A and B are shown apart, each in its own frame.
Chain A
Amino acid sequence: MPVNDFSILVATVNGTGSQTANLVLLRSIFRMGVPVGPKNVFPSNISGLPTWFFIRVSKDGYVARSGQVDLLVCLNPQTTARDIAALRAGAACFFEERLRDEIPVRDDVTFYPVPFTDLVAACCPVSRLRKLVVNMVYVGVVGWHIGLDRDLVRAEVKKAFAAKPQALDLNLAAVETGWAYAASNLPQSPELRIERLDATRDMIIIDGNSATALGCLFGGCSVLTWYPITPSTSLGDAFESYAERLRVDPESGERTVAIVQSEDELAEAGMAIAAGWAGARAMTATSGPGLSLMSELVGFAYYAEIPCVFVDVQRLGPSTGLPTRTAQGDLLQVVTLSHGDTQHVVLLPATMEECFAFAIRAFDLADRLQTPIFLLLDLDLGMNPWMSAQLEYPADPIDRGKVLTAGDLERLGGDWYRYADPDRDGIPYRTIPGTPHRAAAYFTRGSGHSEAALYTEDPRAYQKVVDRLTRKYETARALLPPPEIDRAPAARILIVAYGSSHPAVVEARDRLRSRNHLECSYCRIRALPLSDRLADLCAAHDVVFVVDQNRDGQMAQLLAIALAPSGCAARLRSIRQYDGWPLTADFVAEAIAGAAGSTTGRSDHLVARNREVEVQA
């Protein structure tokens, strides 16, 4: 196994505070200039169930889940047998010495017993804290084994405990204890080694929910309403803590943002929509179940043409499903959320930079288009830490769209219709309540209305407004981030993907090229409605593989509709993963290579086995 190219798995029980230790390990590798791709796979429970933290180390910068484990920190007796069985031949396994008898024998794995219990007892006098502190012991052991820079590890521990200085010494001592034990009792790995690189300069590590929250704050959001739901909760948390430093007047203590934890998602949507109506830049963040509850109000905002930003951090499954597992299953629901003739604008970020930039853009688009804008993340993007280029300050000023001021109204002689289309782009003008002009007011309703915003049951007057809404949707198409297209010369295969599937597709393309001699073009969709460019692009390839993390190939279905007129729909092949684990390059490459008549490497044993455990738990 080459240097700077392997995967670590820390298998623990949740509720033991291992996340801080894992992040120290992760950030120490990152600070040595080596790219990292972490994945936290955790249960929907507060304590006692299995949790797996994967750190993929990749000198080539691949950050998708690898599906292969080379170094296991085996601290969960519940999953020991399966975790060990899933190791790659030649892997290393660190385990609690006292559990020696429970460790299954494998001749092709190197086992390193470590007296974790004794080591933590030695450095942590308070027995109730040992369950937490033991995590830093494995950081020391692994850090020594893979050749981390000890000073960097110390610096990361200090950073992690900057806000809790009383815990710092204890945790530093635990790292030192582990490190010292390993240095005198264990070898350094001959192959699983971190060596300094320069591949992470000027980069950051952030999760998608934090990047999105920052984007919302830099996008000028002034009202956030939310109701706790995994995996969007941490977006609200991040927003609140960044708002605390970015949007509070240091002198008066006055806030330029209102954050409301609502009573339910109906209120959450209602408050955000009405705040948008009244001129705030308003948003809400939720996940599938919350989105289902919001649907009536979303239709209202669509028809009454009210700006508002909805973030959906998708999780797996119908109903409650698996709240801590990832999916892209809300796509079709979101694009036409609510009854009747509705259609929505959806942004599909795939990177941390896009989470940030699209969040900013969502507010401008909401105001410009006077409609709900959906920002679709998923648990993998939102809750996992990601390596990223630094987030860039927005180049364009805030766009408030077509708002008539008292001065404008005066110039118009008070003559305007709320739902008319004077610019022929489908976008009407609006006024903000409180505008000091006698002609500013209009009556907003979700019932049938005319261009003049009056109730109507007249078929033509009604239809005129909904037809204009279609025109507005066409205008939106041109304002949205275009698909990112990378055409491979002479490629006959096109891969279409979106959102968190991106890193797996990037890696799969390289692998298909090097191992299977298959060149694939790649189109990453970044928004709905779909771009006009897709028809030509699909027509230029023989087969179009559409990657979806949902059971029914929802993006493939949208493409089939969009491509029907061009006759290209028959070229679509749907690749679907929907077991809740982040997508791997193996899965994508095997599906494409298989369909293309060739074969590739091994299948994904670890995931399959761990899934079984999860079902039993």
Chain B
Amino acid sequence: MSAARDPTSPAAPGANAAGLTRADYRGAPSTLCPGCGHDSITNHLQTALFEADISPLRAAKFSGIGCSSKTTNYFMNQSHGLNAVHGRMPAIATGALLANHTLLGIGISGDGDTASIGLGHFVHILRRNVKLVYIIENNGVYGLTKGQFSATADLGTLSKAGERNELPAIDCCAVSILMGCGFVARSFSGDRKQLVPLLKAAMQHRGTAVIDVISPCVTFNDHAGSTRSYDYVKAHDEPLHEVGFTPGCAAHAVADDEGESPTEVELPDGSVIALRKLEREHDPRDREAALRLLEQARQRGELVTGLIYIDPASRPFHESLRLGATPLAMLPDEKLRPSREALQAIMAELA
């Protein structure tokens, strides 16, 4: 329905390998509050999609309900989007990607959407390992219903009205690792340098790739005493590493001559995630270490960001179900309806 650029027309200046410019990855204008972290994430996502040469016609966007969930409308308007009901994003993404597992699925959810009403679906999409980039835009509150604490709000954090949160936080990254997720990252909406390569890597992961992005809500959770304000997050952000991502085709062309060589994780398509160590040692291929890291961070009140855990060899759900190369949605009628003879054989058995 949109009149966006035709990807088949001659490449415009600044076009990527898909023949599209950065502007082709835009969506409808955002209606979120100016300064909302979610808008920064949308912006970084557009950059990542553009730089990864994604064809919007081969992608689909999924979300639940919340300020965060609205953002599927704010990027890549040449992609189909399914903005369903509160908390069910993982279920609808699973269903749509069962119908067509060749689509690049991008799911956007909030901390309320994922960690409260949708927690059941969240853990089950991880168990199934549906190939999906799963972005949690985590502001510690329910933005759209005006600032109630969410289940990811830290113990002791204060609301805008000054009430203290008396309940412990659910750590979506720890939950993800425990549920067998093979790509678990945490980032900050304000950290373009870290988030963009993480997003690009997530798109290449063969399974559910969770990125829990701390995304301050300027309207309801950006005050002193909140552990999700811009000031607090900037002060407590402890990036694990500098993240670099090199797509499959270009993988070994990167020259790296400054300092220690980074930890490299190769994905099945040949892409490489290069992690250049900062303060501490962390090998994201070590599941136990990843859980330990999160627990230590919790005890120390730190916000560790970066690639926390990765298992590049994970098996996506459509393979577990042994679906063929042709998406179910594209099967011709003769594959969908068994033959007359098949029915006759069954009737003979029931006679």
Contacts and interface: CB of A to CB of B under 8 A. Distances in A.
A222 B1 contact: no
Contacts of A245: 342
A70 to B, nearest CB: 27
A599 interface: no
A293 to B, nearest CB: 11
Contacts of A264: 120
Given A274-B95, A393-B344, A438-B78, 11 more contacts: A214-B343, A214-B346, A222-B329, A257-B328, A277-B95, A297-B88, A300-B84, A433-B103, A434-B329, A435-B57, A444-B82
B338 interface: yes
A218 interface: yes
A270 interface: yes
Contacts of A271: 91-92, 94-95, 98
Interface residues of A, number: 81
Contact of A417 (B1, B100, B351): B1
A452 B1 CA distance: 8
Contacts of A206: 350
Contact of A443 (B83, B328, B331, B333): B83
A342 to B, nearest CB: 14
Contacts of B120: 263-264, 266-267
Nearest to A203: B351
B85 A296 contact: yes
Interface of A: 202-206, 214, 217-223, 225, 242, 245-247, 249, 252-260, 262-264, 266-267, 269-282, 296-297, 300, 390-391, 393-394, 397-398, 414, 416-418, 431-447, 452-455
A258 B323 contact: yes
B231 interface: no
B329 A278 contact: yes
B91 A270 contact: yes
B1 A439 contact: yes
Interface in B311-346: 318, 321-325, 327-331, 333, 335-338, 340, 342-344, 346
A275 B333 contact: no
B99 A439 contact: no
Nearest to B345: A245
B80 A441 contact: yes
Given A254-B322, A270-B92, A446 B85 contact: yes
Nearest to A296: B85
Given A246-B342, A453-B1, A263 B124 contact: yes
Contact of B83 (A214, A280, A447): A447
B96 A433 contact: yes
17 contacts: A218-B337, A246-B338, A257-B328, A258-B328, A263-B124, A270-B85, A270-B95, A274-B94, A274-B95, A275-B328, A278-B103, A433-B103, A434-B327, A438-B2, A441-B77, A441-B81, A452-B1
B347 A274 contact: no
B247 interface: no
Contacts of A297: 84-85, 88
Contacts of A252: 324
A222 B331 contact: yes
B2 A441 contact: yes
B324 A258 contact: no
Nearest to B79: A441
Most B Cβ at <10 Å: residue of A267, A270, A439: A270
Contacts of A300: 84-85
A581 B87 CA distance: 39
Nearest to B123: A263
B253 to A, nearest CB: 31
A260 B124 CA distance: 12
B94 A397 contact: no
B73 interface: yes
B60 interface: yes
A272 B99 CA distance: 9
Given A393-B343, A438-B5, A273 B81 contact: no
Given A254-B323, A394-B337, A444-B80, A266 B121 contact: yes
Contact of B96 (A214, A253, A277, A439): A277
A141 to B, nearest CB: 27
Contacts of A431: 80
A578 B260 CA distance: 77
Most B Cβ at <10 Å: residue of A202, A272, A417: A272
Contacts of A439: 1-3
Given A274-B93, A278-B99, A436-B57, A204 B350 contact: yes
B329 A432 contact: yes
Contacts of B79: 433, 441
B7 interface: yes
A270 B121 contact: yes
A444 B330 contact: no
B57 A282 contact: no
A434 B7 contact: no
Contact of B98 (A258, A436, A441): A258
Contacts of A393: 340, 343-344
Nearest to B63: A445
A203 B347 CA distance: 9
A358 to B, nearest CB: 16
Most B Cβ at <10 Å: residue of A218, A242, A436, A437: A218
B207 interface: no
Contacts of A217: 338
B339 to A, nearest CB: 9
Most A Cβ at <10 Å: residue of B93, B99, B336: B99
A220 B334 CA distance: 9
Contact of A441 (B56, B88, B337): B56
A267 B88 contact: yes
Nearest to A253: B322
Contacts of A269: 91
B121 A263 contact: yes
Nearest to A400: B333
Contact of A433 (B100, B322, B344): B100
B58 interface: yes
Contacts of B94: 260, 267, 270-271, 274
Interface string B33-56: 000000000000000000000001
Ranked nearest first, the 5 interchain pairs of A and B with the lowest CB-CB distance are A279-B329, A270-B91, A274-B95, A271-B95, A220-B336
Contact of A272 (B3, B95, B337): B95
B68 to A, nearest CB: 15
Contact of B333 (A246, A267, A398, A453): A398
B261 interface: no
B178 interface: no
Contacts of A398: 333, 336-337
A270 B91 CA distance: 5
B6 interface: yes
Contacts of B346: 214, 242
B82 to A, nearest CB: 5
Nearest to B7: A438
Contact of A255 (B62, B85, B322): B322
Given A433-B100, A438-B6, A282 B124 contact: no
Contacts of B278: none
Interface string B91-128: 11111111110110000000000000000110010000
A544 to B, nearest CB: 37
Contacts of A452: 1
A433 B80 contact: yes
A278 B60 contact: yes
A201 to B, nearest CB: 9
B108 to A, nearest CB: 13
B297 to A, nearest CB: 29
A202 B348 CA distance: 9
A266 B60 CA distance: 21
Contacts of B60: 278, 433-434
A287 to B, nearest CB: 19
Nearest to A254: B324
